[in-house]
């Protein structure tokens, strides 16, 4: 779910989003049985932890930005031994009951084995068995295992009220209204403890047309509405993301993966509002961003 943008959406679209309860649940079920299955989410998490060399979440306070309908990534933080997990979103979209499908349809050994390099294998087994024992997930059940759901929460205008050690997002930042992105990231950095880290997985393709992933780059700025930012993506390209993260004071950022779509053509014309370096910059489709907040400087004796 995009942050910052919802407050600017036309009232008709806001109401439509709020009224889609039954549809949202059906979509949540589909996700829980596919891309939000906990073994798949564990693989995604292990991949970026490996690339970032961010070895352990054991005993840490973790925060997920934009959890969406199915809180599977929050469960992965629990499996990795997080002391507390805060799952946030701009709207209360989560359907916790679908987590049973995410957990019980997973290939059980996979989360244990995939996550074992980052936590004790026996403890992961114990935690996973506890998840399997939950007949029906609810916000109360999640709180019992240390997962707090907080929504609505808008990081474009406020920071978290207590410091956290680790922040994670998956396919969220590209939906943030582009003018809100710097403030949102600054508030996330402010929410981190000194030495804390965050990983953002950002998808740079047109979310309405993965077969023509760069079509949205040709749309004139005057026609690219706030709703377009939410539904299609904010059109920020790889080099601009690098500058945005480089401008975060008191941090160091590495781009831990960069993937491109060389199999798809760009539009003949790119709108002048799109900021980019060259064709290669335009064709970047996915980035993984790892940011570490500087530790406090030692005090003088």
Highest mean pLDDT among 59-63, 66-70, 150-154: 59-63
Query: Taking 60 as the threshold, does the pLDDT of residue 12 lie above it?
Result: no
Other C-beta atoms within 10 Å of 156: how many?
Answer: 22
DSSP 300: P
- What would the pLDDT profile of 173-189 be if each residue is shown by its tens digit? 999 999 999 999 999 99
In a domain, 299, yes or no: no
Provide the pLDDT confidence category of residue 144 given band limits of 50, 70 and 90.
Answer: very high
Position 227 scores a pLDDT of: 86
- What would the pLDDT profile of 19-59 be if each residue is shown by its tens digit? 555 567 788 899 999 999 999 999 999 999 999 998 799 99
Give the torsion sign (CA, 27, 209, 254, 115).
positive
- What would the pLDDT profile of 75-91 be if each residue is shown by its tens digit? 999 999 999 999 999 88
Position 5 scores a pLDDT of: 45
Query: Taking 70 as the threshold, does the pLDDT of residue 299 lie above it?
Result: no
Q: Secondary structure of the chain: what % helix, strand, coil (to 5)?
A: 45, 20, 40
Cα separations in angstroms, 232 against 120, 144, 210, 212, 219: 40, 37, 10, 12, 11
List strands edge to edge, sheet with 61-65. Answer: 147-150, 84-88, 61-65, 164-170, 192-203, 284-293, 251-260
User: 104 with 131: CB under 8 angstroms?
Assistant: no
Partners of 292 in the beta sheet? 197, 252
In a domain, 56, yes or no: yes
Position 3 scores a pLDDT of: 40
Query: Taking 60 as the threshold, does the pLDDT of residue 98 lie above it?
Result: yes
Measured distance CA(110)–CA(86) in Å, rounded: 24
For 32-89, give the DSSP string: HTTTT-HHHHHHHHHHHHHHHT----TT-EEEEE---S--HHHHHHHHTT-SEEEEE-
Position 226 scores a pLDDT of: 87
Locate 165 and state its tokens: 């050690």
What's the domain count of the chain?
Answer: 1
Query: Taking 90 as the threshold, does the pLDDT of residue 13 lie above it?
Result: no
In a domain, 79, yes or no: yes
Domain range for 134: 6-293
Position 1 scores a pLDDT of: 41
Query: Taking 90 as the threshold, does the pLDDT of residue 267 lie above it?
Result: yes
- What would the pLDDT profile of 190-226 be if each residue is shown by its tens digit? 999 999 999 999 999 999 988 999 999 999 999 999 8
Strand 284-293 to 251-260 pairing: antiparallel
User: 173 with 165: CB under 8 angstroms?
Assistant: no
* Interhelix angle 72-79/38-52, nearest 10 degrees: 60
Provide the pLDDT confidence category of residue 298 given band limits of 50, 70 and 90.
Answer: very low
Position 21 scores a pLDDT of: 57
In a domain, 127, yes or no: yes
Torsional class of 53: left (φ above 0), alpha (ψ -120 to 50), beta (otherwise):
left
Partners of 259 in the beta sheet? 286
- What would the pLDDT profile of 240-256 be if each residue is shown by its tens digit? 999 999 999 999 999 99
Partners of 85 in the beta sheet? 62, 147
Provide the pLDDT confidence category of residue 8 given band limits of 50, 70 and 90.
Answer: low
In a domain, 301, yes or no: no
**DSSP SS3 for 143:** helix
Query: Taking 60 as the threshold, does the pLDDT of residue 2 lie above it?
Result: no
Position 210 scores a pLDDT of: 86
Position 9 scores a pLDDT of: 54
Position 297 scores a pLDDT of: 47
Instruction: Indicate the average pLDDT of the chain.
Output: 91
Measured distance CA(285)–CA(262) in Å, rounded: 9
Strand 192-203 to 284-293 pairing: antiparallel
- Please report, for the domain that includes residue 220, its CATH number: 3.40.50.150
Provide the pLDDT confidence category of residue 230 given band limits of 50, 70 and 90.
Answer: confident
In a domain, 250, yes or no: yes
In a domain, 300, yes or no: no
Position 195 scores a pLDDT of: 96
Position 148 scores a pLDDT of: 98
């Amino acid at each position: 779910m995009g942050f910052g943008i919802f407050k600017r959406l036309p009232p008709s679209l806001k109401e439509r989003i709020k009224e889609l309860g039954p549809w949202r649940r059906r979509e949540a079920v589909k996700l829980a049985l596919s891309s939000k299955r906990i073994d798949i989410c564990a693989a995604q998490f292990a991949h970026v932890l490996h690339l970032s060399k961010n070895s352990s979440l054991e005993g840490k306070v973790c925060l997920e930005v934009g959890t969406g309908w199915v809180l599977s990534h929050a469960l992965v933080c629990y499996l990795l031994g997080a002391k507390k997990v805060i799952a946030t979103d701009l709207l209360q979209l989560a359907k916790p009951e679908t987590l049973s499908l995410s957990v019980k349809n997973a290939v059980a050994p996979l989360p244990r084995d995939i996550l074992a390099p980052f936590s004790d294998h026996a403890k992961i087994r114990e935690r996973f068995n506890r998840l399997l024992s939950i007949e029906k997930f609810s916000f109360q059940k999640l709180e019992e295992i240390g997962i707090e759901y907080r929504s609505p929460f808008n990081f474009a205008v406020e920071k978290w009220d207590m410091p956290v050690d680790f922040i994670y997002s998956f396919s969220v930042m590209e939906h943030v209204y582009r003018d809100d992105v710097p403030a949102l990231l600054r508030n996330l950095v402010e929410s981190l403890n000194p030495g804390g880290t965050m990983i953002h997985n950002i998808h740079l393709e047109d979310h309405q047309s993965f077969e023509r992933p760069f079509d949205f780059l040709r749309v004139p700025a005057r026609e690219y509405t706030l709703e377009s930012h939410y539904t299609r993506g904010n059109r920020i390209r790889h080099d601009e993301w690098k500058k945005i993260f480089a401008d975060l004071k008191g941090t160091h950022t590495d781009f831990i993966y960069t993937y491109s779509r060389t199999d798809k053509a760009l539009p003949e014309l790119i709108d002048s509002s799109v900021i980019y370096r060259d064709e290669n910059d335009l064709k970047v489709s996915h980035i993984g961003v790892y940011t570490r907040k500087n530790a406090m400087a030692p005090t003088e004796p």
